[in-house]
Structure formats: C-alpha cells, structure tokens
Amino acid sequence: MRQPLVIANWKMHGKSAFNEALVTEFLALLKAYRAECALCPPSVYIEQVAGLLRSSNVMLGAQDCSHIAEGAYTGEVSAEMLRDCGCGWVIVGHSERRQYHQESDALLAAKLAMAQRADLKPVLCVGETQEQREAGEAEQVVKTQLQGALGDLSDFRRLAIAYEPVWAIGTGLTASPEQAQAMHAFIREVVRELDARSAESLRLLYGGSVKPGNAAELFAQADIDGALVGGASLDPEAFAAIVSAA
C-alpha cells in the first residue's frame, strides 16, 4: 500500500506576511489525514517556512536544486544546502524549468544524483505538451523523459514521479481521471523496465489544475498516489481539502 503524497509547489509566489498567514491557516485546517505532505516555497523563504512547520508533520521541500555540488556558480543553490535548511524533498525537472531554463534530461539526471547524494527525496516531473498529445506522441515523450533522467539512477526507493501534462498546468484544464490513470500506469511500466524492484512502491503524483473539486476522483485511480499542486496550494482551505482527500 503506497502512502499518498501531496506536495505544494508555490512557484514564484509568496511574501513573508502572506507565507505566515497561509501556513498557519493551512495547519489549523488540516485535521485527520493519511497523506504525507510537503510545502515547496521559493528558496529564499525555506528557512521561514521551516520555522512555521516546526511543530507539524508537514515536510519542507524546494522547487529546484543545482546539478553541481559546490563552487563558483552564481545564483545556484545546492541540494546539500537545501538539506541543511531542513528540506526533505526537491522538485526536479518541472516543465517550467524545462521550458524557460532549457533543462535537458541529462541535466536532470545530474540533479537527481545530487539530490540523492544530499539525502533529499526528488520528485521528477514529466509530461507532454498539447501539440505532442494531439500528434499522438504523449507516451513516447514521457518515456524519453523518464529514460533520459532516470537511466543512471542507482536508488529508486526515495524517488517520486509527477505526471504533469503541460496543457493542464495553470490552465484550469485537467486530464480526465481516465487519461491520467492511463499515463500513470504507463509510467509505472517504464519504471519497471528500469528498476523492477521499485515500480510497485514508487509514488506517482498527478499535477495540473488539481482542485478540491477534482482531487477525489483523481486519487481514486489505481496508479495515482497523490498530487503536485500549484495554484490551489496558495489557498489554505483548498490545499487542506486536497490533502484530506488523498
């Protein structure tokens, strides 16, 4: 039985006062829940959010990490630094980083290795664009992303994978539960070819316009083990409802 996992990706949103109100209200609303849960604020707020989460079971994560351990790399933040600041999770290969920072699968493989070395649990994001889906290429695109990023990974046990169809991110369009389930089952098969031992225990998250109104039917699918939530994670009531639905 896989424990559900729900991760908040705040993206480039937040400010000290907003963060404090958001986290305080979210924790107050969070009642009985079974899921593992983590918040990923912008890196400058990681220490603040670490303080706010101190007396809760909610974990802390980062939205990205460097592919290099240490050195003269202005502006970069290493996996080791994130671990040092209390992060347990790190998002790797979000489509916005692939798109705006030209992150390749080879670069993501290096980031995953760094995360692993620093004892951070990575969430690798994969997903196709609208054009790729319409051209019937969705599965091949996702398979190439998985093989490119995971080919050299030595330990799959701490990994999670998020399927985030690019056309569903921030658009209000969600993959139907059936579409999402079909791709999740496909991802589990691809992982089985890479590491047969971990495929069953690997947690696969869906991301793309997850809201309280669609979370339960997504989570009811056999291979959907949780969610990576953008916009709705900035609303304490909405995010608490999604975590409770998992």
Judged by beta carbon, residue 123 or residue 190, the one nearer ligand 13P is 123
Q: Single out the residue of 193, 125, 195, 202 nearest to residue 159, CA to CA.
A: 202
Residue with tokens 């608490």: 240
Per the residue annotation, which of 80, 96, 103, 164 is the catalytic one? 164
Residue with tokens 């593992």: 36
101 counts as catalytic: no
Per CB under 6 A, the list member of 10, 231, 244, 245 interacting with ligand 13P is 231
CA 20/CA 13 separation, integer angstroms: 13
Judged by beta carbon, residue 79 or residue 228, the one nearer ligand 13P is 228
Per CB under 6 A, the list member of 93, 122, 165, 230 interacting with ligand 13P is 230
229 and 9 Cβ atoms separated by less than 8 Å? yes
Per the residue annotation, which of 94, 96, 103, 128 is the catalytic one? 94
Judged by beta carbon, residue 80 or residue 165, the one nearer ligand 13P is 165
Confirm or reject binding of residue 41 to ligand 13P (CB under 6 A).
Answer: no
90 and 121 Cβ atoms separated by less than 8 Å? yes
Judged by beta carbon, residue 61 or residue 230, the one nearer ligand 13P is 230
Helix (H, G, I), strand (E, B) or coil at 185: helix
Q: What is the DSSP secondary-structure string of 142-159?
A: HHHHHHHHHTT-S--TT-
User: Please, which of residues 164-183 interact with ligand 13P by CB under 6 A?
Assistant: 164, 169-170
Query: Binding segment for ligand 13P among 132-140, 142-150, 185-193, 205-213 (CB under 6 A)?
Result: 205-213
Helix (H, G, I), strand (E, B) or coil at 50: helix
Judged by beta carbon, residue 202 or residue 210, the one nearer ligand 13P is 210
Least Cβ distance, residue 63 to ligand 13P (angstroms): 8
128 counts as catalytic: no
Q: Single out the residue of 30, 7, 57 nearest to residue 244, CA to CA.
A: 30
Closest residue to ligand 13P, judged by C-beta, is 230
Confirm or reject binding of residue 9 to ligand 13P (CB under 6 A).
Answer: yes
How many chain residues interact with ligand 13P (CB under 6 A)?
14
Per CB under 6 A, the list member of 22, 65, 77, 229 interacting with ligand 13P is 229
Backbone torsions φ then ψ of 125, nearest 5 degrees = -100, 135
Alpha helices per DSSP H over the chain: 16-29, 46-53, 79-84, 95-100, 105-117, 130-134, 138-150, 177-194, 212-219, 236-245
Least Cβ distance, residue 206 to ligand 13P (angstroms): 10
Confirm or reject binding of residue 209 to ligand 13P (CB under 6 A).
Answer: yes
58 and 69 Cβ atoms separated by less than 8 Å? no
Confirm or reject binding of residue 4 to ligand 13P (CB under 6 A).
Answer: no
The residue ranges that bind ligand 13P (CB under 6 A) are 9, 94, 164, 169-170, 207-210, 228-232
